[in-house]
Structure 1
Amino acid sequence: MNDSPTAARRRIPPPHRDDVIIAAAGVLGGLLLWSLGVSNTGSRHFFPDWVALVPLLVIGPVVLLRRSAPAVTLPVGMAATAADQFTVGNLATIVLFTDLMYAAVVYGKPSMARRLPISTGLVTVITTIASVALVGPAQGLLIGVLTGIVCFGPALTGATLRNHREAAIAARLRAEQTALLAEMDRSQAVVAERARMARELHDMVANHLSAIAIHSTAALSIDSPATSREALGVIRENSVQGLAEMRRLIGLLRDAGAGQEAVATPSLDGLDALLEQARVNGGASGLEFVLDDARQPGGGPLPAPVELAAYRIVQESLTNALKHAAPGRVRVRVARADGLLTVDVESPYGEQPGPRAPGSGAGLVGMRERTELLGGEFTAGRQGLVWQVRAVLPAEEKAVTA
């Protein structure tokens, strides 16, 4: 059972090595003083001289518990010290009591550590006033000073040390918390950067690879030299453009790591070229691509993150149209009004004849992330016989950098 004597002994921690040394030194020192006849109150003879050893032998073993049970050792030490005053006295008993007072403040509960310096200070003041009134100023002040040295001095020293220790612990905890927060910020920054690069890589390469997949499938499935030659031309063009985009991304990574100027990023000025490329890639699938740029001239430049996000949303929407749209017209509309940039891409919804490229859904996720990072709104879904992608982005400089 847990209440057995063995279990109880296990709950009491063994005394610290320093406590053993203090207790042994105090008791041996007190025995030496007594054997030499050195006493504190030699004029008092209430009891035989050997009785002075009783408080010493009581307070000495108590010192072994100065760390583990200060709430117990201090009252016992006070009683032993009070009893010592009725004997010839032993200086070692007083010294051991001062150590118990110090340990009670350092190792005791916070409430004890707060009360003892105040209470011992009041005791010192009251003792000094009473002694001056009873025995005169000179001896009274001496008694007050001795009382302060025995009671208030150790308590004040312990409180000072404890405050320094608590301040050091608090500083260490703050440093650990700061390091933890810094590591969390670093991890979040790494995750955010990886997500950004994943979007860039997908948006740049997926369009070209989708075209390559569609036309290579067509070249393999249609036994026509003209069709194969046309498909190979589209494949080569997309391969070259995809390789150029990859080189641009690699250059951006290297230059950004070296602190150099990054390569120019795509903007809405390149939408004409983007749709022209889509026309080449989607002509065999019966798709027609139309750009409706409703932006008013003189509206001022767009923030770079917004411009890049709008371009990538159009690019990914065209890629999805090449992979999934039915034959018909794909309309891209860009408008700017009331501090907002609106991007709409509509494509025919239905089964696409001929070869198709597989999709993973990562494109829609990337478009939504781009929009939400800038504080915009993104929707994508079927509207009757049309698949519509719509993104509303803030067109002011306060836009969040993606």
Structure 2
Amino acid sequence: MSEQESQKSRESRESRESRESAERPVPGQDPRVQWVATLAVIVVGALTIRPMGVTGQGLAVTALFVVNAASLLARRLPEHKVPPRLALGWLSLAVVAAAALIAVSDRGTSYLFAFFVAGHIGYRLPTRQALALAGACGLLCAAVLWLRPGYDGQTWMFGLVTAAPVLVGIVNRSQKQSVRSALAAAEAAERAARAEARTAVLTERGRIARDVHDVLAHSLAGINMQLELVDALIDTGDLERIREANGKAHSLVKESLKQAQWTVHALREDALPLVESLTAMVESSGHHDVLRVTGAVRDVPAKTAQNLLRIAQEALTNAARHAPGGVVAVELAFADASTTLVVRNGPAAREAPRPGGSGMGLIGMRERVALLAGTVTAGPVVEGPYAGGWQVEAVIPG
């Protein structure tokens, strides 16, 4: 999958998650309660609002009742499916219908529709629009009550009160937005945690790849060279050299098993004692009494020990491959602010076999040291007892 396709896939997934978040009920708001309240207003209105019929005033009341019931049921439409302008038009029509029902009916609970519409105006519309439309609702209801015959002079004030539920709606909308903002923040944090986990997995895969390279690439390359030599010597009938090459191949297999043990320790995150482990590694490579430790020996973090050991293993393997028989020196220096590993080898004492390897050794060293904010340098030795050889130096802070 290309990077562009991957980006589109992520954007599509995030859009789908946002849409699902908008459709998801807000905690603390049970849709069933709202449905019960809506149906209760409609049922009570059907039982109490009079007159209702199929002619004259009864027909007008029935038609307005149906319109008000429909506008009240429309409250349950998902917000993301109703454009803002459509919502404003629908609620404006609902205000007019509620005021008209109060005007044409003689008795009953027609005013409940105006109360519920005003409350939903506060919940559905922005604050300024909500206050303006709810104010219009209150004034309209007050006007129709003022103009109705048989009402005393104080009745119109009841019409003004129908606008009051808009405040409850605004509060509920603010709470809903706060809850959804908190949920969105939590989901964003969860996505960030997943991304961080993916990054950690990729980092760990890189570390395992380096360890596998250290064990397999070097060992198998050496074994392959010896087997190729055996294959070339078969035609010559030189049994002595065949046995020698075969013995070296067996030795490399044994060494590979030792290296595999080091890798298992590293992958298991075992805390290896640095000095003792480095001593055993150097001696197992065939060099004795070549490790020099300076400074006050102290425990270092497990990752530091593991990576220094892997760097030492890489350097010793390269020395054995490119400078067979050459002298080797290993130095481990403990300072107050850093730990330094230096591996030097002199020039080859005998002819080196044909070069092999993946070329990833130095890259792996640099990656290991970079993970610990350290530095690594590698290059030829130009002076001193190891002139003509090679040196690797890794410095880890802390």
- TM > 0.5 fold call: yes
| Kept in 1: contact 2:120–2:169 (CA 8 A) | yes
> Where in structure 2 are the equivalents of 1:321-336 lying within 5 Å?
321-325=319-323, 328-336=326-334
| Kept in 1: contact 2:61–2:105 (CA 8 A) | no
Q: Equivalents in 2 of 1:195, 1:336: separation in Å?
A: 28
Q: Equivalents in 2 of 1:110, 1:151: separation in Å?
A: 13
Deviations 1:273-292 (A, max 9, x none): 44444448xxxxxxxx9936
Q: Which amino acid aligns with 2:294?
A: R
Q: Equivalents in 1 of 2:175, 2:315: separation in Å?
A: 64
Secondary structure at 2:51 match in 1: helix
Q: CA deviation at 1:310?
A: 1.8
Q: Equivalents in 2 of 1:196, 1:170: separation in Å?
A: 39
Quick one: which of 193, 203, 212 aligns to 1:201? 212
> Where in structure 2 are the equivalents of 1:219-258 lying within 5 Å?
219-221=230-232, 224-246=238-260, 249=263
Change (3 A) 1:116 1:324: farther
Deviations 1:23-42 (A, max 9, x none): xx69x949961348xxxxxx
Q: Could you say which residue in structure 2 is the equivalent of 1:345?
A: 343
* Larger deviation, residues 75-84 vs 223-232: 75-84
Q: Could you say which residue in structure 2 is the equivalent of 1:369?
A: 367
Q: CA deviation at 1:376?
A: 0.7
Secondary structure at 1:99 match in 2: helix
Q: Equivalents in 2 of 1:88, 1:217: separation in Å?
A: 105
Q: Which amino acid aligns with 1:390?
A: E
Q: CA deviation at 1:341?
A: 1.9
Q: Which amino acid aligns with 2:305?
A: E
* Larger deviation, residues 64-73 vs 157-166: 64-73
Q: Could you say which residue in structure 2 is the equivalent of 1:392?
A: 395
Deviations 1:133-174 (A, max 9, x none): xxxxx985x7656633x2212x23433443454344334434
> Where in structure 2 are the equivalents of 1:169-318 lying within 5 Å?
169-221=180-232, 224-246=238-260, 249=263, 265=272, 267-279=274-286, 291=290, 293-296=292-295, 298-318=296-316
Q: CA deviation at 1:366?
A: 1.9
Q: CA deviation at 1:393?
A: 0.9
Q: Equivalents in 2 of 1:170, 1:276: separation in Å?
A: 62
Bigger radius of gyration among the two: 1
| Kept in 2: contact 1:30–1:93 (CA 8 A) | no
Q: Could you say which residue in structure 2 is the equivalent of 1:379?
A: 377
Identify unmatched segments of 5+ residues in structure 1: 1-17, 37-47, 132-137, 257-261, 281-288, 397-402
Q: CA deviation at 1:346?
A: 4.0
Q: Which amino acid aligns with 1:236?
A: H
Q: Which amino acid aligns with 1:393?
A: I
Change (3 A) 1:188 1:349: farther
Change (3 A) 1:151 1:328: same
Q: Give the fraction of aligned pairs with identical amino acids, expressed as a percent.
A: 26
Q: Which amino acid aligns with 2:333?
A: A
Q: Equivalents in 2 of 1:335, 1:168: separation in Å?
A: 57
Secondary structure at 1:151 match in 2: coil
Q: Could you say which residue in structure 2 is the equivalent of 1:286?
A: none
Q: Equivalents in 2 of 1:210, 1:88: separation in Å?
A: 97
Q: Equivalents in 2 of 1:99, 1:307: separation in Å?
A: 71
Q: Equivalents in 2 of 1:104, 1:225: separation in Å?
A: 99
Q: Which amino acid aligns with 2:321?
A: K
Q: Could you say which residue in structure 2 is the equivalent of 1:103?
A: 120
Q: Equivalents in 2 of 1:73, 1:206: separation in Å?
A: 73
Change (3 A) 1:34 1:338: same
Q: Equivalents in 2 of 1:108, 1:191: separation in Å?
A: 47
Task: Determine whether 1:152 maps to 2:164.
Answer: yes
Q: Which amino acid aligns with 1:112?
A: Q
Q: Equivalents in 2 of 1:232, 1:320: separation in Å?
A: 21
TM-score (norm 1): 0.62
The number of equivalent residue pairs is 329
Change (3 A) 1:204 1:326: closer
| Kept in 1: contact 2:326–2:346 (CA 8 A) | yes
Q: Which amino acid aligns with 2:298?
A: G
Identify unmatched segments of 5+ residues in structure 2: 1-34, 147-151, 383-387
Change (3 A) 1:31 1:53: farther
Deviations 1:2-22 (A, max 9, x none): xxxxxxxxxxxxxxxx9xx98
Q: Which amino acid aligns with 1:162?
A: R
Task: Determine whether 1:94 maps to 2:106.
Answer: no
In angstroms, what is the RMSD of aligned CA positions?
Answer: 4.7
Q: CA deviation at 1:203?
A: 2.8
Q: CA deviation at 1:86?
A: 7.0
| Kept in 1: contact 2:50–2:61 (CA 8 A) | no
* Larger deviation, residues 337-346 vs 262-271: 262-271
